[in-house]
Amino acid sequence: MSDQTGRNTHRPSIIPRSEHIVSRANISNNAIKVLHRLHKGGFQSFLVGGCVRDLLLRHQPKDFDVATDASPEEVRKLFRNCRLIGRRFRLAHIHFGREIIEVATFRATHDELDDNDIRGLTDAGGRILRDNRYGKLEDDVWRRDFTANALYYTLDGYSIWDFVGGFEDVEQRVLRVIGDPETRYREDPVRMLRAVRFAAKLDFSIDDPSEAPLWELGHLLDDVPPARLFEEIIKMFLAGRAVESLRLLEHYRLLAHLFPALVSELGKDTDGQFRKLLLDGLATTDQRVREDKPVTTFFLFAVLLWAPIKKRFDRLHGGGMPPIPAMQQAVEEIVKAQQSQISVPRRTTIPMKEMLALQSRFNMRKGVRSLRFLHHPRFRAAYDFMLLRASSGDFDTQAAQWWTDIQLADEKSRREMAQVGRGAGSGKRKRRPRRRAARKRSAGQGGQE
């Protein structure tokens, strides 16, 4: 039975231990300690959110979040290893070495506030500005975004409490917004990106009522703080499902509100070169995440912004600017324009510019500079990006193979390869030793080469 807001007005459905697969063996010992101490202190305490969902999907959660009726100050009194953080909503972080258990106090719904309070919490479009009112468990449920993220696990009987049908949705692999989807998206437009991220990451389908507004409300992302969008993009594209995330962003017409310059160039990409590099780059990132290898934000954004950067570079270089300054200026211009949508920090843009400025050096295979290039701190990242360009047809594949071979060669073979700019043992005759004499004559004619 539901009221007019779509909320279940019954008490929660309690799933006993015999009917679910969540085991304490898969829960962090530190999270269990937090639950126990809160309970002994006279407070309610639940594991909540993605960790419960992931355990039901037989995934190992990255972190464990706790919800309680204790205030942040009361939590701090129970735990000496506690730090309070946050302005919009106060949270307690319980530190156990490198592991942090996040503890949040139950939040109140807008229904519990008077009109003046609500006007202070939201803007004219319904977007939440402040969110720091505490409430009860029954209130907290309705403030969560999706039913799959609104499951509460308690050590009291090791049961799961479900107010909104999330347990069944997880079993059916369905992503469903709690409440009216359009209203919830307007409250916080980032929920649209979270819908895409969870659908891609978990391989869930988005139910029809939750899906329908996505095509029409993308413009709401234009008013989200760019720094917040950067964090959401990192979560989305570095979770091992970047290719699928891109597909869904394009499908729901959200990508243009995040990377307008990229969308513009993809629309003119008649030979598919830029799209191939983009997809290959994201697929490589996904593979590295699955193999638990390091991934970097600067490489990701180089992949995402390469199309407009390359177009701008071609215009600058074609106008007579040397390749390295042309690439540096192209990166600066495109990144500056991008900042109005997504605030990319300098810790990302600086190494990205360094890596892309090195691309022109792959055209220079002769001489000692090619050998020195192998030891450049950004060589490996630049080399990996060059391979993506070669695979998409943006760089000569034979030259790319030469740079692969020279890394595998011994020192003598490297010197031979650098002398001729070809692979060692290629059958080509070495250059005759007349170069030194030629230089002397040239120097005698004014020192120009």
CB 382 within 8 A of CB 302: no
Supply the pLDDT for residue 124: 59
User: CATH 1.10.3090.10 region(s) of the chain?
Assistant: 282-427
pLDDT in tens, 107-154: 987 555 454 444 455 655 555 555 568 899 999 999 899 999 999 999
> Cα(first)–Cα(last) distance of the chain, in Å?
87
Q: Which amino acid, 288?
A: R
Catalytic residue, candidates 54, 69, 145, 286 = 145
Portion of the chain with pLDDT greater than 90, in percent: 82
pLDDT in tens, 395-420: 999 999 999 999 999 999 999 999 88
Q: What is the reported pTM?
A: 0.85
Q: How far apart are CA 254 and CA 220, in angstroms?
A: 10
- Residue that wins the pLDDT comparison between 434 and 442: 434
**Does residue 425 register a pLDDT over 80?**
no
**Does residue 446 register a pLDDT over 60?**
no
Distances 199 to 119, 159, 236, 249 between C-alpha atoms, Å:
32, 26, 10, 11
Average pLDDT, the chain: 89
Least confident of 192-196, 300-304, 430-434: 430-434
The token duo for 338 is 């991008």
Task: Establish whether 63 is a catalytic residue.
Answer: yes
Catalytic residue, candidates 65, 69, 140, 162 = 65
Q: How far apart are CA 370 and CA 130, in angstroms?
A: 56
Supply the pLDDT for residue 86: 87
User: CATH 3.30.460.10 region(s) of the chain?
Assistant: 1-172
Task: Establish whether 223 is a catalytic residue.
Answer: no
Catalytic residue, candidates 63, 131, 207, 384 = 63
The CATH number corresponding to 282-427 among 1.10.3720.10, 3.20.20.10, 3.40.50.720, 1.10.3090.10 equals 1.10.3090.10
Q: Which residues contact 251 (CB under 8 A, 6 or more apart)?
A: none
Q: Which homologous superfamily is 1-172 in? A: Beta Polymerase, domain 2 (3.30.460.10)
Most confident of 5-9, 165-169, 425-429: 165-169
Supply the pLDDT for residue 433: 54
